[in-house]
Amino acid sequence: MRSVYVRWTRVVRVAAVLATAALGVTACGGGSDQPSAPSKGGAPIVVASFNFTDSQVLSEIYAHALEAKGYPVSRKLNLGSRELIYPALKSGELQFVPEYQGAAISTGFGETAAKDSQAEHEQLAKLFEPSGVKLLNYAPAENKNTYIVKADVAKSKGVATISDLKKLDKVVLAGPPECEKRLPCFRGFTETYKLNATFQTVQEAGPRVEQLKSGAVTVIPVDSVSPLVGDPQFVALKDDLTIVPTENVVPAVNKKVLDERGADFANVVNAVSAKLSTDVMRELNKRVDADGEQAGDVAKDWLAKQGL
């Protein structure tokens, strides 16, 4: 999953000029329909996304919801990691990004995330404040690392939590190279869970799944919005010692946009967030990744069914 790489990207300083140049090259957008409400005028609100399906679907959902209420929107989707997006968000070149609270705190700012959604929201709001970026309400939906094992192994060995992996004679965790040194991944397995585990680097998500199916590895990380989480072939393990922070979706918005657009703008966005759940996002992602639908079409269809 490409989202894994976004969450585990190293925190480095990227020159604003580099970010600007890269944005000019990689920005892409799903064109927009004519808004169904009278245009509220003003400059288009620049909505951005990271370079993975869940982020793109979320950005399209918020963008189409805003357009339906008459707000002009410009899309810059599939941009890349936080190193690229954050400088542009802080400068105002990008103005609206659906974020993931825990990952934003840990990889975006290099801080240790709080242990619950509301505390994370308050923590992230303070971190963004000096940059002129504010948060709106967070959604119930989360997209975070979830660890899965084969269902037959889970049943035969009584494995339901990550701690239960101690019941196995051998534990091999396969993940991208960054996983080995990250606390929400292999480091957490050895340092927090005290598992006698080994790590195997498997860069791409597809081959990791195949390694798990074959029994070559014991456990792999996937996104919580992945259809694999609900697949009867696998069991998602409970993170009983909480090495993975909560990852509620939260819109990060340029403060100037919020000040100019007022309470109605925030209300439109918050109404969308309130209806987003992890199960909803899992189904919408499946429609894009497995069924081949366009993210913008999936977003519009879901919004219409929700009356948004």
pLDDT score recorded for residue 36: 55
Residue range 241-262: mean pLDDT, rounded:
94
**CA separation (Å) from 35 to 39, 172, 307?**
7, 51, 15
Residues 6+ apart with CB under 8 A from 132: 90, 92, 254, 255, 256
Q: Which tops the pLDDT comparison, 296 or 8?
A: 296
Q: Please check the confidence at residue 262 and state whether its pLDDT lies above 90.
A: yes
Asked if the model's pLDDT at residue 232 lies above 50, the reply is yes
Contact between residue 300 and residue 63 where contact means Cβ atoms under 8 Å apart:
no
- Average pLDDT of the chain to the nearest whole number: 88
- pLDDT-above-90 percentage for the chain: 71
H/E stretch holding 134: strand 133-135
pLDDT at 3 over 70: no
H-helix or E-strand spanning residue 157: helix 151-157
Of the chain, the end-to-end C-alpha distance in Å amounts to 29
Smallest CA-to-CA distance from 1 within 250, 207, 305 is with: 207
The confidence band for 136, taking pLDDT boundaries of 50, 70 and 90, is very high
C-beta atoms surrounding 111 within 10 Å: 15
pLDDT digit string, tens, across residues 4-55: 334 433 333 333 333 444 454 344 444 444 445 777 888 999 999 998 889 9
| Nearest residue to 136 (alpha-carbon basis) of 108, 95, 175 | 95
pLDDT at 306: 95
Residue 142 DSSP code? B
Q: 168-227: per-residue pLDDT in tens? A: 999 999 998 888 988 889 999 999 999 999 999 998 888 999 999 999 999 999 988 888
Q: Which residues contact 43 (CB under 8 A, 6 or more apart)?
A: 72
Residues 6+ apart with CB under 8 A from 123: 105, 111, 113, 114
**Does the pLDDT at position 259 exceed 70?**
yes
Range in 12-16, 264-268, 303-307 with the lowest mean pLDDT: 12-16
pLDDT at 115: 82
Tell the burial category of 92 from Cβ atoms under 10 Å away from its Cβ (0-12, 13-18, 19+): middle
Average pLDDT over residues 258-278: 96
Measured in residues, the chain has a length of 308
pLDDT of residue 238: 97
Copy the structure tokens of residue 203.
């860069």
Q: Provide the 3-class DSSP secondary structure of residue 225.
A: coil
As a whole number of angstroms, the distance between CA 267 and CA 114 comes to: 26
- Match 């049943």 to its residue by tokens: 155
Mean pLDDT lowest for which of 18-27, 148-157, 172-181, 289-298?
18-27
Predicted pLDDT at 297: 97
